Amino acid sequence: MGMAYSSSESSEALRKKADIFLQDANFDEALSCYKASLAHDPQNIKALHNFAKLHEKNGSITKAISLYRAAIDEHCFDDETAMFLYKSLADCAEASGKSNLAIWAYSKASKSEKFPFHEIAFACLESLRKVKLNDYDEEITDLLGPLLLADNLDRQIIADIYFDNLGRKIKKNFNIANPFKTSNISNQLVEEKSIDFFLSGFAVRNIQVEMALRKMRKAYLTAYSEQIFSAADNRLINLIAQQQSRSGAIWGLEEIEESLLSELRSALETKVIDDSFVKTTCSILAMYEAPISKIQNRKWGKTCPWPSYWDNSGIIFKLESANPDHVCASFYTENPYPQWSEKPTYSVADLDEDLKSLVINNQGGIAGETTDYILIAGCGTGQQAIRAALTYPKCRVVGLDISLASIEFANIKKVEFRITNLSFILGDLSKIQNIGLNFRLIECVGVLHHMKDEFLALRSLLSHLTPQGVLKVGLYSSLARRPIRRLAQICMEKQIKFNSESIESVRTVAIDNSEIFGLESITSSHDFFDRHSCNDLLFHPRERGYCISEIKEICAELDCEFAGFQTSTFAGDEHFIKFDSTAENLEINFDWWSRTEEEIPSMFGNMYIFWLRPKRSS
């Protein structure tokens, strides 16, 4: 007599059989087995989940979502299984454009104590960064609290999501151009959930919130000058002053504000005044003027907030050059880039697997070296180098930059975050032949378009790849930077100099004309919101843009293979070109990218991201 199996045991046996068929891409047999499994036990959560995966692979998104939700509705699973189910539902919802459902899934998952320490928290932050919403969503604000507990998420990015959400509420509820609405905005911000925490700790990088704060600043200044000031306003006044300081005193001001500020400064110098008047007046002035020490510290190469000692800089090698690039070195001494403070977002990954994804069928002979070295060429203040070191802890990461001030700051952050697999080299990246290292991965994003000879630099970088190495490149798109040229033209017509000395006025022109002249890509850029980064965005003394046909020419000139393009809009798109593509496929996809960019100039963001490697002999 045969052994009798329970319904649940039979269901599980059939589920395992179906999983094998699914893994082998035998979808018809998998479909039959999953159906049989669920006929034996409709509450088999693993069968429901994997059956949903099968429908997702087959493009039956609605059915897949229904099955994921059926699994979640069973409520008979532990926290780890819950995280797994909610993440699968969120991924499926995002892939089908159902962002509200994805947020719902993450919100449900966030109720677990394990949420901040699970990979779903990373996925949640990435989702919130990309989602495009028209209205304020309180569920998003509630999600941010648990995300702040995660150690591997950039808290400034979390703050950006908070301020973007708040900006949507301000835009919907108020016309910030109307001065009669200022008191209403003030009342709303005072009552806004977590406003003190985010305004005191993080930079505002949302134009709606910045403009609301600037309107409030003007209202407080006017009220104080008219002696109708309330001490209760001190809380927001101090928060506005912190933001002004954090931005490098970049906010513009109106003529009436200039006049009132002049009167206040004169009063401080000439009147017999008490301590209370001095304290309050200084608080008002602080909303307009960054403290002197902060202004000096912005020029890190001159008045550096830490000693410029070689033994504290983290530099392991200094590249000598007979003809150093003084233009870029000087610019980034004055404007270290990027401006950042929080630990970068990262998810520990395997370099082999990440590089295999660039090759057709995940093959192509990319195999790990004995020790994998990664070079971040043009590392600036170290954010990307530190992210790479955290993401690939088994690799050795080297950051290279031409600015000593930037490398000094990068080393401060390296020590702060206890990074042990990262070192720095000072010098021009086109002169790296004396390093004595070859790299499995070189990243050079946002650098080459500032160089005197990008071909010399590219050849130098390609020559320092290991036999299986890959070079990641980021170049400005000429099309995507048209709005900057348009802004320069508008400033010229208004007789405003388009340079760093007029940065406050230029920003005001950009804000006032953003929607009329299509300048949103400027005013929505995070680089728009602090002095150093805005100088890099708008006024770099040497830069050039590229088009897709020029990138094809670069590949031909250097005789190398191409993979790309990486975009946020077209992630995973069928037109992504992988290494080992045929020449015909390469040509077809390049033509497609070129035509599509003409229709959607912002599709690449600000720059093209792609990969190169030397052609390998057969």
CATH number at residue 90: 1.25.40.10
pLDDT average, residue stretch 64-89: 85
Inform me whether the pLDDT recorded for 614 exceeds 60: yes
Beta carbons of 403 and 362 less than 8 angstroms apart: no
Inform me whether the pLDDT recorded for 525 exceeds 50: yes
Confidence at residue 293, expressed as pLDDT on a 0 to 100 scale? 34
Helix axes 45-57, 61-72, angle to 10 degrees: 170
462 and 564 together in one domain: no
Q: Which domain holds residue 178?
A: 171-290
Question: Tens of pLDDT along 553-598?
Answer: 999 999 999 998 887 544 446 678 889 888 888 888 888 888 988 8
All residues at 6 or more sequence positions from 73 whose CB lies less than 8 Å from its CB, including other chains: none
> Quick check: is 297 in a domain?
no
> Quick check: is 301 in a domain?
no
Beta carbons of 382 and 407 less than 8 angstroms apart: yes
pLDDT average, residue stretch 133-162: 93
88 and 206 together in one domain: no
Give the separation between CA 532 and CA 503, rounded to whole angstroms. 10
Residues paired with residue 396 on neighbouring β-strands, in sequence order: 373
450 and 322 together in one domain: yes
29-38, 294-303, 365-374: which range is least confident on average? 294-303
199 and 117 together in one domain: no
Give the separation between CA 546 and CA 351, rounded to whole angstroms. 29
The winner for highest mean pLDDT among 20-24, 184-188, 533-537 is 533-537
Give the separation between CA 227 and CA 214, rounded to whole angstroms. 20
493 Cα distance to chain centroid: 34
Give the separation between CA 21 and CA 17, rounded to whole angstroms. 7
369 and 334 together in one domain: yes
Inform me whether the pLDDT recorded for 381 exceeds 50: yes
Pick 417 or 226 by higher pLDDT: 417
Confidence at residue 3, expressed as pLDDT on a 0 to 100 scale? 43
All residues at 6 or more sequence positions from 179 whose CB lies less than 8 Å from its CB, including other chains: 215, 218, 219
Residues paired with residue 373 on neighbouring β-strands, in sequence order: 396
> Quick check: is 175 in a domain?
yes
SS3 content of the chain, % helix, strand, coil (to 5): 55, 10, 35
Confidence at residue 290, expressed as pLDDT on a 0 to 100 scale? 62
Confidence of residue 282 (pLDDT cuts 50, 70, 90): confident
Confidence of residue 471 (pLDDT cuts 50, 70, 90): very high
> Quick check: is 243 in a domain?
yes
Give the separation between CA 502 and CA 23, rounded to whole angstroms. 61
Inform me whether the pLDDT recorded for 324 exceeds 80: no
> Quick check: is 130 in a domain?
yes
396: left (phi over 0), alpha (psi -120 to 50) or beta: beta
Confidence at residue 5, expressed as pLDDT on a 0 to 100 scale? 46
For the chain, give the percent of residues with pLDDT over 90: 51
Inform me whether the pLDDT recorded for 365 exceeds 70: no
Beta carbons of 106 and 83 less than 8 angstroms apart: no
- At which of 290, 322, 356 does a domain end? 290
Helix axes 234-246, 275-286, angle to 10 degrees: 50
> Quick check: is 299 in a domain?
no
What's the Cα-to-Cα distance from 263 to each of 234, 270, 278, 309, rounded to whole Å?
A: 20, 10, 14, 44
pLDDT average, residue stretch 133-150: 92
Confidence of residue 317 (pLDDT cuts 50, 70, 90): low
pLDDT average, residue stretch 186-208: 87
Rounded to 5 degrees, φ, ψ at 96 are -100, 10
Beta carbons of 481 and 597 less than 8 angstroms apart: no
> Quick check: is 452 in a domain?
yes
370: domain CATH number? 3.40.50.150
Confidence at residue 181, expressed as pLDDT on a 0 to 100 scale? 53
> Quick check: is 241 in a domain?
yes
Confidence of residue 80 (pLDDT cuts 50, 70, 90): confident
Confidence of residue 618 (pLDDT cuts 50, 70, 90): low
Beta carbons of 561 and 613 less than 8 angstroms apart: yes
87 and 139 together in one domain: yes
H or E, element range at 564? strand 560-564
The winner for highest mean pLDDT among 267-276, 285-294, 362-371, 595-604 is 595-604
Decide: residue 123, CB within 10 A, 0-12 exposed, 13-18 middle, 19+ buried: buried
255 and 286 together in one domain: yes
- At which of 98, 129, 164 does a domain end? 164
440 and 336 together in one domain: yes
CA neighbor of 270 nearest in space, from 258, 281, 284 = 281
Pick 586 or 105 by higher pLDDT: 105
H or E, element range at 612? strand 607-614
Pick 185 or 606 by higher pLDDT: 606
50 and 158 together in one domain: yes
Residue 282 corresponds to which tokens in the numbers above? 């200084």
Number of domains within the chain: 5
Confidence of residue 603 (pLDDT cuts 50, 70, 90): confident
Give the separation between CA 315 and CA 426, rounded to whole angstroms. 7
103 and 197 together in one domain: no
Confidence of residue 604 (pLDDT cuts 50, 70, 90): confident
Inform me whether the pLDDT recorded for 309 exceeds 70: no
Confidence of residue 294 (pLDDT cuts 50, 70, 90): very low
pLDDT, averaged across the chain? 85
158 and 12 together in one domain: yes
- At which of 164, 195, 215 does a domain end? 164
Q: Where are the beta strands (DSSP E) in 335-487?
A: 373-377, 396-401, 422-426, 439-445, 465-476
Confidence at residue 78, expressed as pLDDT on a 0 to 100 scale? 80
Pick 56 or 371 by higher pLDDT: 56
66 and 153 together in one domain: yes
Confidence at residue 494, expressed as pLDDT on a 0 to 100 scale? 96
Beta carbons of 328 and 542 less than 8 angstroms apart: yes
